[in-house]
Chain A
Amino acid sequence: MGRYVMRRLLQFIPTVLGAMFLLHYLTSIGIQFSANPVRALFGDRTPPPELLQNLSEALGLGDECLTRKGDPCVGLFVDRMQNIFLHWDFGVNFRLRPVTELIAESLPYTVRLALIALLFEAVVGIIAGVLAGLRNGSFWDYLVKISTVTVIAIPIFVLGFVVREFVGVQFGNVLRGVDWIPDLISQGVFGSVYKSDYPWASLIIPGLVLGSVSLAAAARLTRTSILENTRSDYVRTAKAKGLGTNRVVGVHTLRNSLIPVVTFLGVDLGTLIGGALITETIFNVPGIGRLVVASARTGEASVVIGGATFLVLVYLITSLLVDILYAILDPRIRYE
C-alpha cells in the first residue's frame, strides 16, 4: 500500500507539470496574438514605453518571448516553475495581489458549495437508488429512472437560471412580504443570489442546483449496484438462514452496494469543485471558478495558471484518496 501511494504521488509530478505547461502555453499564445494585456490598464491613454515595460515586468509579463507569435516561451516557463517550487511564489494579479491569497480567499465559497451539493446528492441519490433497486420494475423504479434522465438532459445553466428566477426571485418575494418569516429564510435561503451576510444559507439553493447533475449518476449507480448484489450468493444465503428483511437489506446488501457509490461521491467532490463555474456565475458566488474565468478574460496569466493548477491538484488528490478508500472498504482489492 505504502509503495502504491508513493508511486501514485510520483506520477503526479509529470501530470501537474504537463498541465501547468499546457496552461502556460495557452495563456502565452493568448498574449502573443492579442498584444500585452497590461496595455489595457491604461485605457485610452498611451503609456510611455518604459512605464509599460516596467509594469509588465512587475506583473510577470515582461518576457521578450511574449511578443513572438507561436513561441512556447520555455524560458518563461522555467522561471515560473522556479518561482513556484523554490520560493512558493505563484505571481500576482493586475492589482499586485499574490495568487495564493486570491485562491485562499475564493476557495471557501467553492468548497462550501461543493459540500452542500455532495450532501444533497449523497442523501437523495442513495435513497432514490435504493428504493429503485429494491423494487426493480415498480413505480418507484420508473419514477427514479425518468427523473434522473430528465435532470441529466437539462443543461445546468438553464436549470440554475430557472430556479433562480422562480425560487429565488418569485417565491422569495412572496416570502419576503410575510412578516413572521425570519430573514435567514426569506433573505438567506431564498435570496436568489449569494449574500455574504448568510454564508451558508444563501448557498443552499445553488448547492442543490450544482448537486442535481451528479445526483442522477449517484442514483443510477446505487440502483445497478443494489440490483447486482440482491442476486449475489451471500444475500441468498442470508435470506436462506432466515434473517429478517431489514438485516438482509441493511447489512448484507446495502453495505456492499454502497462501495462503488462512496467512491463515485469521492471523485465527484473533485469534479464539483472544478465544475462549479456555472453555478457560481448564475448565483454570483465569488468562488474559484469565477476567479479563473475572470482572469482568463483580462489576461492575468499567473492567476489562470495558479488557479487551474490548484484544481488539477484537487482532482488528482481526491482520486488518489478514493482509490485508497476503495481498498479499505473492499478487502478484495489489494494494491501492491
Chain B
Amino acid sequence: MSDVTTASTEVEKPGAAPERERAASLWGDAWRQLRRNPIFLISLAWIIVVTSMAVVPRLWTSIDPRACNVSQARLPPSSEHWFGTSIVGCDYYAHAIYGARQSLIIAVVATAGVVLLGGVLGMLAAFYGRWTDTLISRVIDIFLGVPFLLGAVVFLTVLKIRNVWTVALVLVLLSWTYIARIMRGGVLSAKTLDYVQAARALGGSNSRLMFKHILPNAIAPVVVYATILLGSFVAVEATLTFLGVGLQAPAITWGVMITQHQVYFLQLPGLLLFPAGLLFLTVLAFILMGDALRDALDPRLR
C-alpha cells in the first residue's frame, strides 16, 4: 500500500525540485530542455519586456501619452520622439508603450477564463461521462459551430458597453470549447491509467482523483494551447477594434492605434507599422513559446 502512495506522490508534485539521481518529472525535464532552447528564451525575454511595458510603463517612457500638442503633429521619428508623433501630436512611442497594457489585460483575463471554464467543463465531462458528457459535448458543439469572429461581433454589438471586461468575456464565451475538448481528451486517457485505478481502489474521493492524480497528467496540452491562445487573443483584440466592436478611441491599445491611423498609411506608414510591429512580435513570441513548450512537454519527441 505504501508503494502505491509514494508512486502517486511522485507524479502529483511535478514541479518539485528533481533530485539528481532520480529521473526528473515531466516538467523538470521540459524545463531543462527549454533552458537550452534559444527560441524559447528569446520569446520569453520579449514577453517579459511586453509585460513590463504593461505593468510599469514608466520604466520605458517618462512621457505622458495623453499630453498631446497639435502643433507637434505628424513629426517623423527623431531622437526626441522615437516613433514620431501621431496626427493629433501625441508622442507615438509613449502611446505604443501604454498600448501594451489593455491588449495584454484582455489576453490574460480571457485566457484565464477560458482555461478555468473550459478546463472545469472538460474535466467534468470526461470524469463523470454518461449524461454529463453528452450534455457538455452538445453544448461544446453548439458553441463550436458559431463562427468565431462573427459570433464575437454579434455578441459585442448586443452588449453595447465595450471595455476590457466585456471584450474578455466574449472571447471566453467563444473559445472555451477548444480548451474543453483538449481537457476532455486528456482526462479520458488519464483516467484509465493504473495509478488512477489504484487511487480509486484505495478510496480516494472524486475531487482528490481529479485534482491530485488526473489533472497533473492532463494539464500539459492545455498549457501549450493556452500559451498560443494568449497570443491569438492579443491579435483578436486588435481585429475586433478594427471591425468597430472592440475598445474605442480614448482607450490606448495597439488595436486602436492601428485602426485610427490606417487611413494615413500611405503618407505616414509608421503610425500603422509601429503598433502593428509590436503586435506582431508579441503574437509571434507567444506562438513560438507555445511551440517550444509543446516540443518539450511531449515525451515522444525527445
Contact = CB atoms under 8 A, between A and B. Distances in A.
Contacts of A34: 160
Chain A interface residue bracket vs B: 35 or more
Contacts of A315: 144-145, 147
A266 interface: no
Interface stretch (B48-56, B63-71, B116-124, B237-245): B237-245
Contact of A277 (B146, B231, B243): B243
Given A149-B287, A154-B280, A161-B265, A15 B142 contact: yes
B18 to A, nearest CB: 30
Contacts of A152: 283, 287
Interface stretch (B88-96, B149-157, B214-222): B149-157
A23 B147 CA distance: 12
A316 B157 contact: no
Interface residues of B, number: 38
Given A23-B154, A149-B287, A153-B283, A18 B138 contact: yes
B150 A19 contact: no
B256 interface: no
A158 B157 CA distance: 22
Contact of A15 (B138, B153, B238, B283): B138
Chain B, interface SS category: helix
B149 A277 contact: yes
Interface stretch (A24-32, A65-73, A80-88, A185-193): A24-32
B91 to A, nearest CB: 22
B266 interface: yes
Contacts of B147: 271, 274-275, 277, 289, 308, 311-312, 315
B61 interface: no
Contacts of A22: 142-143, 146
Contacts of B155: 26
The 6 closest A-B CB pairs, nearest first, are: A274-B147, A30-B158, A18-B142, A153-B284, A312-B145, A153-B283
Interface of B: 138-139, 141-151, 153-155, 157-158, 160, 231, 235, 238-239, 242-243, 258, 262, 265-266, 272, 276, 279-280, 283-284, 287-288, 291
Interface of A: 11, 14-16, 18-19, 22-23, 26-27, 29-30, 33-34, 149-150, 152-158, 161-162, 165, 169-170, 271, 274-275, 277-278, 281, 289, 292-293, 296-297, 304, 308, 311-312, 315-316
